[in-house]
Structure 1
Amino acid sequence: MRNFLFVVAVLATLLNGQLVASTEEVKSSSLIFKSSLVSSSISSSPSESDSSLLDSRNSISLSNRIENEHGRGNKPDPQTLVQIEKNLLSLFGFEKRPKVDRSKIVIPEAMKKLYAQIMGHELETDLEAPKADLFNKEANTVRSYTHEESNVDNRFKYHNRFRLFFNVSNIPEKERLRDAEITFNRNQIKNVNNIRHQIDVYDILRPGRKHKKRKPIFRLTASRVVNINETGSISLNVMSAVKRWLREPKRNHGMLVHISALDDRSNSINIDDSFIVPSHEHIRLKRSIDDSPENWAQAQPLLFTYTDDGRYKQRSIRDANRSRRAPGKGKRRKQNHDVCQRRPLYVDFSDVGWNDWIVAPPGYEAFYCHGECNFPIADHLNTTNHAIVQTLVHSINSNLAPKACCVPTQLSSISMLYLDDQNKVVLKNYQDMTVVGCGCR
């Protein structure tokens, strides 16, 4: 008799259309990222935290949540914090916490602008941001590199010819290189008639040796002609060179950049002639005597690499399945605080002492799902047919099946700007970090 009643109940549920899942999200406190995050938290020192980043009335921090679980007013013990840090490091793909000297590192303005674009903000700068369209689509990691000075620099006496060396050894072998570009900053030169500069970038396959009378071997990687009466940064694709460096790290001898002058007929002109504007006044290859360390830190050439670590390829399959369900358009139900829904939870990186190597953000809204999944499951909850049947069975006999669980049904990513062990600036996208919607499953 009991089984007969169960079958009747299931059939009744099916006929009443209860098996149609809806994806309407329960409205909860929203994710808050103020525009000051980009302008202040990126440029400020680790000690200058933005206490107004999150409305405390609408969110509970990770540290407060831990304190509540360990007793109100009591901070979590060191062992708990160590375990939290260990789990977070594993989540972000680190074996250990990076040790950096923040005072000696200048964050490139171009990386700030790229981060700002991803976060939906705009910075007042003329710099051209790296390829924001490539980031997230084909690559989830962007790294910036500056030239590493050495005694080799002294061999280049003129400003129109210089060797740039970028150490890309911090790129893991498992990551796939998607693109690489070198950027140069330019100063506008006025009152010049039809003079242009041609930039040629060569991969140094073999350096020359004077005592052995061995000539160097170069391979042209990129070339571009620019007008000297224009300003702003320019980029040249150097993926072939970087790809070779990653394949043969011991044969990374850097790249040679040569600048020549062209007239209005594209004829080469002696760039050392007195009537020709010196190349270093337009395109910055090396530091001048009158350059301060601060100014040169933002004016120097930069190499950007775009890689993909392949960690989240399976996510697209799950997202595709979710996207088949259209958002529900039914009437909004009266909010029940006991029902399954998204609830606020803020992760503050300063809780684990990470604000010295994480440039931005200072933390993020993770949210979590909590609440009851009782029968009948509300239409606005993003549920599945199986969860409805399971909840129905539980309502008839709790010994036959447990309740459906309140879990995340949709997740979104966060972008993090940080410094690695080699003091390189890295912008990385981490998927499945923020709860967007909850449901009974």
Structure 2
Amino acid sequence: MSTISFFSSVNFRNRVTPTLLSSPLVPHNISWRNASIAGSQQTWTVFPFFIFCRDIMIPGNRMLMVILLCQVLLGESNHASLIPEEGKKKAPGLHGQTAGQSHELLRDFEATLLHMFGLQGRPRPSRSATVPRYLLDLYRLQSGEAEEAGVHDAAFEYPERSASRANTVRGFHHEEHMERVHSGEYQMKNVEALPLRFVFNLSSIPEDELLSSAELRLFRQQIDLAILGSGGGEEGLHRINVYEVLKPPRAGQLITRLLDTRLVRHNTSRWESFDVSPAVLRWTRENLPNHGLAVEVQPLNQTPYHQGRHVRISRSLHQEPGEDWEQVRPLLVTFGHDGKGHPLTRRAKRSPKQRGRKRNRNCRRHALYVDFSDVGWNDWIVAPPGYQAYYCQGECPFPLADHLNSTNHAIVQTLVNSVNTNIPKACCVPTELSAISMLYLDEHDKVVLKNYQEMVVEGCGCR
């Protein structure tokens, strides 16, 4: 397999040692030399997520490596650098390569990183793409941002059971052109209006993503009690039924199966969630035809004119002042797992560890902020705008101290190095990695909340 090689100079105790790094992730037949960034007192390598020990690289850090490599390839561009500011100079340009070759190389690296994210191509959201408030609140609560900012909505119910089995949450709006529209005259003359049908296009869900549950979210608005009288007893109640449509509708008739039902009052505005997992799992796991869902609103002892008018299941012909249909329209939410990493869990916001200003050359964690706008991805990544990835750097001196989190093998290797310099020292590498959550728009303008593993360095050690 062809690899890309980087020769850098790493200063260990005033002794310059050539180090070879190689990776199978990059395009074939490309070679760089002297791709290092020299500081005034020390030498910085441009790829802190590599282990500078012969041809070894931690697989968990490949995604971060590609982000950094894309940034370095930008050379003398106006983009802000992802490399730490301390002791850093600008990376040299691509010597001997034309602008076209550089652009092609960047495109190849972007494709590699997108593949790591599970995307076929770079998403380019349309202007009409919207992010449901529910998924944004779910991200903030799951990532700990809501707790840190103290803006958590008490009415928001975290789907603990569904999220505990999933690392991916997707949001879908229905295809409005396929819903059946009732005329006002029809509803005035018929006591029981037919259910309204919703069709959701779920083709963007990858085949390797196993769904565990799904819910249909409907928004209901408070109704002025003066319209309905006292509103006491059964007069203030509505029943909402959600069905699976089993066959294509014919002659205005729907063949359905009841999925969930709920009795609600109209005296408050809130979202209602209905379990539609059986239908969605049949569509995705068993590949049965997806004819959509149907929603029926049945008031108790109410005139047909007011039937279901507070449940927002279709766009109003005349928009109410200050109303945002995109934020109150029905939303289908799926919870799935792609078999990679751990499920979504509620966690507190990470607090940066306070360290003294005393310079420490030993192996430790350093700050490294990855800004998605630096690589031009802030148009489709909704949150976060960037994150603190950290990296490991420093010496592993003999004898290895306990706080350097070493293995027995590293201790033996360091001992042998002290008497035989042909044997390399132990390397400063990440020993603990954690995940981050990302909220983004995919290639189909669908909103995705996903956990990505091994994105943040939590601990370093000599290995």
**Structure 1-normalised TM-score?**
0.71
Task: Give the match for residue 296 of structure 1.
Answer: 325
> Which one of 123, 135, 148 corresponds to residue 111 of structure 1?
135
The residue number in structure 1 matching 2:50 is none
1:95 pairs with 2:120:
yes
Q: Which runs of 5+ in 1 are unaligned?
A: 1-58, 263-268, 315-331
Q: Which of 176, 196, 200 matches 2:210? A: 176
Greater mean alpha carbon deviation, residues 181-190 or residues 118-127 = 118-127
> What is residue 121 of structure 1 aligned with on the other side?
145
- Alignment CA distance shift 1:208-1:79 (3 Å): closer
List per-residue Cα deviations over 1:310-364 (Å, max 9, x = no partner).
02279xxxxxxxxxxxxxxxxx999553211111222221222211111111122
Task: Provide the residue aligned with 1:149 in structure 2.
Answer: 176
Partner in structure 1 of residue 438 of structure 2: 416
Residues 9-28 of structure 1 correspond to what in structure 2 (within 5 A)?
Answer: none
Match of 1:285 in 2: 313
Please report how far the alpha carbon of residue 261 of structure 1 lies from its aligned counterpart in structure 2 after TM superposition.
2.1
Match of 1:258 in 2: 296
Q: 3-state SS of the aligned residue for 1:185?
A: strand
Which of residues 354, 361, 368 is equivalent to 2:384? Answer: 361
Matches within 5 A, 1:273-352: 273=304, 277-281=306-310, 283-291=311-319, 295-312=324-341, 336-352=359-375
1:380 Cα deviation from its structure 2 partner: 1.4
Aligned partners of 1:202 and 1:257 also within 8 Å: yes
2:245 is aligned to 204
Q: Find the residue that maps to 2:411 and give its secondary structure.
A: helix
The 3-state SS of whatever aligns with 2:274 is strand
Partner of 1:433: 455
Q: Give 2:284's aligned residue.
A: 246
- Say which of 82, 90, 94 aligns to 1:61: 82
Which of 213, 222, 235 is matched with 1:188 structurally?
A: 222
Question: Once the two structures are superposed, what CA deviation does each residue of 1:233-258 show, in whole Å capped at 9, x if it has no partner?
Answer: 11111100111121465711111111
- Aligned mates of 1:125, 1:431 — CA distance in 2: 28
Change (3 A) 1:334 1:146: closer
2:260 paired with 1:222:
yes
Paired residue for 2:394?
Answer: 371
Matched residue SS, 1:280: coil
Query: Is the contact between residue 359 and residue 419 of structure 1 (CA under 8 Å) also seen in structure 2?
Result: yes
1:374 and 1:154 mapped to 2: Cα distance? 75
Higher relative contact order (CA 8 A, sep 6+): 1
Q: 1:375 to 1:133 in 2, by over 3 A?
A: farther
Output the CA distance in 2 between the equivalents of 1:373 and 1:63. Answer: 21
Task: Indicate if the aligned counterparts of 2:239 and 2:264 stay in contact, CA closer than 8 A.
Answer: yes
What amino acid is aligned across from residue 82 of structure 2 in structure 1? S
Contact 1:180/1:305 (CA < 8 Å) preserved in 2? yes
Alignment: residue pair count? 348
Alignment-mate amino acid for residue 272 of structure 1? T
Contact 1:141/1:429 (<8 A) preserved: yes
* Partner AA of 1:203 in structure 2: E
Q: CA deviation at 1:183?
A: 0.9
The CA deviation string for residues 357-411 of structure 1, in whole angstroms up to 9 with x for no partner, is: 1111112221111111111112212221221122112112223x32111110111
Percentage of matched positions with identical amino acids: 44
Q: When the two structures are superposed, what TM-score results if normalisation uses the length of structure 2? A: 0.68
Q: State which drifts further: 223-232 or 152-161.
A: 152-161
The CA RMSD measured in Å over matched residues stands at: 3.2
Letter in 2 for 1:108: P
User: Aligned partners of 2:155, 2:128: CA distance in 1, in Å?
Assistant: 22
**CA positional deviation for 1:427:** 0.7
